């Protein structure tokens, strides 16, 4: 199984750092994608950071109260089913070549069904 790193997200346009105010998980906990894993405070917003993956928390890289820069790793998750995903990724290039020929036909049929209506202000 693969280990993925969760990084501090940018929670606002000019936000450059965030403080872990509370961990909602511990090492060994199972999380699903989008489950909240930490509460983060910035100068503009307080938010829960969701998991980007389904798996098991293996490491918390920051303590509660610690401030991290955007993009810094704050935890690691062992991904479930990563072996199956790698097999699918290897098979995907073979399948992706065929649909390109059909795209022109789809685009042409979509253009035929367009109805234009004037817009007056």
Mean pLDDT, the chain cut into blocks of 10 residues (121 residues total): 90 90 96 95 92 94 94 92 50 49 55 64 58
Predicted local confidence at residue 112, as pLDDT: 62
Q: What is the pLDDT of residue 91?
A: 46
* Signed CA dihedral, 97, 101, 103, 104: sign only: positive
> Full-prediction pTM beyond 0.95?
no
- pLDDT attached to residue 86: 45
Tokens of 72: 């810094």
In the prediction, which pLDDT does 76 show?
95
**pLDDT (0 to 100) of residue 81:** 72
Please check whether residue 50 is in contact with residue 7, taking contact to mean a CB–CB distance below 8 angstroms.
Answer: no
CATH architecture entry for 3-82: Beta Barrel (2.40)
Predicted local distance difference test score (pLDDT) of residue 118: 67
Which residues are 79's β-sheet partners? 55
In whole angstroms, what is the distance from residue 42 CA to residue 31 CA? 24
30-31 and 55-60: which strand pairing? antiparallel
Burial of 121 (0-12, 13-18, 19+ CB in 10 A): exposed
CA angle centred on 18, ends 15 and 24, rounded to 5°: 135
* Helix, strand, coil distribution of the chain in percent, nearest 5: 25, 35, 40
* List of E strands, 1-121: 3-7, 17-23, 30-31, 36-41, 46-50, 55-60, 67-69, 73-79
């Amino acid at each position: 199984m693969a280990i993925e790193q969760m990084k501090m997200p940018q929670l606002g346009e000019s936000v450059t750092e965030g403080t872990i105010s509370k961990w909602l998980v511990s090492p060994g906990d199972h999380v699903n994608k989008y489950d909240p894993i930490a509460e983060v405070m910035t100068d503009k917003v307080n938010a829960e950071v969701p998991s980007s993956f389904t798996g098991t928390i293996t490491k918390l890289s920051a303590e509660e109260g610690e401030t991290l820069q955007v993009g810094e790793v704050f935890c690691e998750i062992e991904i479930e089913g990563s072996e199956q995903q790698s097999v699918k990724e290897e098979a995907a290039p073979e399948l992706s070549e065929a649909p390109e020929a059909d795209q022109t036909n789809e685009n042409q049929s979509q253009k035929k069904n367009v109805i234009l209506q004037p817009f007056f202000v």
